[in-house]
Amino acid sequence: MPDGAPAPAPAPSSLPKRGCILGFDFGLARIGVATGELETGLASPLTIIAAQSRDLRFAAIARLIAQWHPVALVVGLPRPLDGEGAHEFEPDCRRFANRLHGRFGLPVIFGDERLSSVEAERSLRAAGMRRWQTRKDKLDAVAAQFILQHFLDSIRHATTS
């Protein structure tokens, strides 16, 4: 699949009622990863992948997929706060999503990434993490949790409406 082609996105109704989903907060330096469960509708931070090379990043993702057996993947898509136009990192996130789909054959769904890092920072401070380095080491995984939780909330809302 070419890098610019959209990754297939299943309709929420086509997802199984149960199963793990991995969520990703893609960044050029780090990738935050969260895990969630369709049945409970809850997401949790999992890890941060900070490997420098693309091959090492995808090897780490392959290990997570082998361990968690997700039924789908959610990738945070950066959008401008005003909703107009495209964010400068949107093409990078789309390429990452397409590579995930191409390598692992799993459905890839885009989640709204707006303000996920701000929410994650606020959550970590509220949890008592005062030192910046301590928060920074967890920030991307917690941002991935917020992206995935928003997605899980949206499909739960769609199926109850």
Is residue 2 assigned to a domain?
A: no
User: 92 exposed, middle or buried (CB, 10 Å; 0-12, 13-18, 19+)?
Assistant: middle
What does the CA dihedral 92, 8, 58, 74 come to, rounded to 10 degrees?
80
The share of the chain scoring above pLDDT 90, in percent, equals: 47
Q: How many domains in the chain?
A: 1
Does this model's pTM top 0.85? My answer is: no
Is residue 151 assigned to a domain?
A: yes
Q: What is the extent of the structural domain holding 47?
A: 30-160
Is residue 150 assigned to a domain?
A: yes
* CATH code of residue 62: 3.30.420.140
Cα 12 from Cα 143, distance rounded (Å): 22
Is residue 97 assigned to a domain?
A: yes
Q: Is residue 148 within 8 Å of residue 119, measured between CB atoms? A: no
- Please state, as a whole number, how many other Cβ atoms lie within 10 Å of the Cβ of residue 55: 9
> What's CA 93's distance to the chain center, in Å?
10
Is residue 80 assigned to a domain?
A: yes
- Cross-strand bridge partners of residue 108: 73
> How confident is the model at residue 34, as a pLDDT?
96
Cα 84 from Cα 97, distance rounded (Å): 21
Beta carbons within 8 Å of 102's beta carbon, 6+ residues apart: 1
User: Which residues of the chain are under the pLDDT cut of 70?
Assistant: 1-13, 80-88, 114-137, 157-161
Question: For residue range 76-87, what is the model confidence (pLDDT) as tens digits?
Answer: 988 755 566 555
